[in-house]
């Protein structure tokens, strides 16, 4: 087995791993993005505080066979109340339905 030596090799290995995951139908595999949010009053909410918000930001890893508008690599916000999490190859991914996507950035 080859050991990745450069950042490019690591990204290629991750891309190959993602290509093996193929959601079916209207499901989308996403990876959550930790973000700090600044409120109107100037307070900065930590990642822990943003977990209390209803909508989460994520990057699309793979989209299902019936998803036509959302592509791999898109950033989006989704309703986290309708999502579930899976551990695939020691990495945590979130599975959502296309109807739970609120905004594509």
Query: pLDDT tens-digit profile of 84-93?
Result: 999 887 888 9
User: Which H or E run includes 7?
Assistant: helix 7-19
The per-residue DSSP string of the chain comes to: -PPP-SHHHHHHHHHHHHHT----TTEEEEEE----EE-TTSPEEPHHHHTTSSEEEEEEEEE-TT--S--TT-EEEEEGGG-EEEEETTEEEEEEEGGGEEEE-
3-class SS of residue 87 = strand
pTM of the model: 0.72
CA 105, distance to chain mean position in Å, is: 13
Q: Per-residue pLDDT tens for 10-19?
A: 455 555 455 5
The model's pLDDT over 37-82, given as tens digits with 9 standing for 90+, comes to 777 787 777 666 666 778 899 999 999 999 999 999 999 999 999 9
**Chain centre distance of CA 77:** 9
């Amino acid at each position: 087995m080859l050991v990745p030596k450069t950042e490019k090799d690591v990204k290629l290995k991750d891309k190959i791993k993602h290509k093996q995951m193929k959601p079916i139908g209207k499901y989308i595999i996403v990876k959550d993005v930790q973000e700090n949010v600044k409120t109107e009053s100037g307070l900065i909410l930590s990642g822990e505080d943003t977990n209390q918000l209803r909508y989460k930001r994520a990057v699309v890893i793979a989209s299902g066979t019936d998803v036509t508008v959302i592509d791999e690599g898109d950033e989006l916000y989704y309703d986290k109340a309708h999502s579930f999490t899976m551990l695939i190859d020691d990495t945590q991914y979130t599975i959502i339905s296309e109807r739970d996507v609120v905004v594509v950035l």
